[in-house]
Amino acid sequence: MGASFRYAVISDVHSNLESLTAVLNDIDKEKIKKVLFIGDVVGYGPDPVGCIELIKKRCTYAVAGNHDWAVIGYTPSDYFNYNARVAIEWTKEQLGNDELEFLQSLSIVKVLRKESLFLVHASPKEPDAWSYILSLHDAEINFQYFNERICLIGHSHVPFIIERLPSGEIVLYREKIEFKESCRYIINVGSVGQPRDGNPEAAYAIINDKYARIVRVRYDIEMTQKKMKKAGLPEFLIERLSKGI
């Protein structure tokens, strides 16, 4: 067994300050001191500067997501669909040097050796190709591309916990799991700022050396939507927040 630890893990904040604040308050209530960030602080939402400030202040370790890289020109914007591109261009206009420097400082993967955790936004196999882990088959392949016991990801905005037994069998869990000695795991912590699993509540994960669970937190969706309207961000991005799709 590795060292004992306790982390809150957050991903895909997407410039949603209301959901990020609600999640960080919940993490405080749980008395968790250390927060890991799995990428995409910006994109889609109306508060890129405020969200970067909070992530900088509160997160012990952070890695880059595809939207973070798009804003600083590391990932070409033709990778993105129209609405995402509009939001990326809008975000670029909001950021100053401090924010850009922070995004540039993020690494693409992070390994916590003592805890045997591997942090990456999209997939261990191709971290900067931003491919998705959407099926058990995708997961099975990706288990070959990291050596740690647990891989923490985001990117699809749909939380899940995948367990790999020593036999090679792969099992899917939705909300929580108690870790077994000889198994390995890929955990998608869901999205703080734009959930897409049909539940509009913000998602994050609590993980320690014994278990992991996905937590959902209510936040003021209408406030975020009002700000997005005012900023002139695409209608589709505004509407999807209340549906969680």
- Give the shortest CB-193-to-Zn ion separation in angstroms: 8
* 11-19, 109-117, 202-210, 216-224 -> range binding Zn ion (CB under 5 A): 11-19
Burial class (CB in 10 A: 0-12, 13-18, 19+), 114: exposed
Minimum gap (Å) between residue 155 Cβ and Zn ion: 6
- Residue number with CB closer to Zn ion (177 or 205): 205
CB of 241 to Zn ion, least distance (A): 13
Q: How far is the CB of 43 from Zn ion (least distance, A)?
A: 7
Binding status of residue 12 toward Zn ion by CB under 5 A: yes
Q: Where are the alpha helices (DSSP H) in 30-160?
A: 48-58, 66-71, 82-94, 97-105, 136-142
What's the min distance (Å) between Cβ of 214 and Zn ion? 16
- Written as one letter, the residue type at 174 is R
**Interacting stretch for Zn ion, rule CB under 5 A, among 10-18, 68-76, 219-227, 229-237?**
10-18
CB of 203 closer than 8 Å to CB of 12: no
Q: Which stretch binds Zn ion (CB under 5 A): 35-43, 46-54, 177-185, 229-237?
A: 35-43
Q: Let me know: does 38 contact 9? Beta carbons within 8 Å.
A: yes
Contact (Cβ atoms closer than 8 angstroms) between residue 163 and residue 186: no
Residue 40 binding Zn ion, by CB under 5 A: yes
Question: Which is closer to Zn ion, CB of 132 or CB of 211?
Answer: 132
Q: Which stretch binds Zn ion (CB under 5 A): 16-24, 34-42, 94-102, 177-185?
A: 34-42
Q: Which one, 12 or 197, has the nearer CB to Zn ion?
A: 12
Torsion of CA 67, 68, 74, 79, to 10 degrees: 0
| Separation between Cα atoms, residue 48 and residue 218, nearest integer Å | 20
Measured in degrees and rounded to the nearest 5, phi and psi for residue 169 equal: -65, 145
Least distance to Zn ion, CB of residue 19, Å = 13
List beta partners, residue 37: 10, 62
CA distances, 236 to each of 8, 113, 209 (Å): 30, 41, 40
User: Residue 86 or residue 170: which is nearer to Zn ion going by CB?
Assistant: 86
| Nearer CB in complex with Zn ion: 18/40 | 40
Give 181's DSSP letter: T
Residue (26 or 40) nearer to Zn ion, CB: 40
Site residues for Zn ion per CB under 5 A = 12, 40
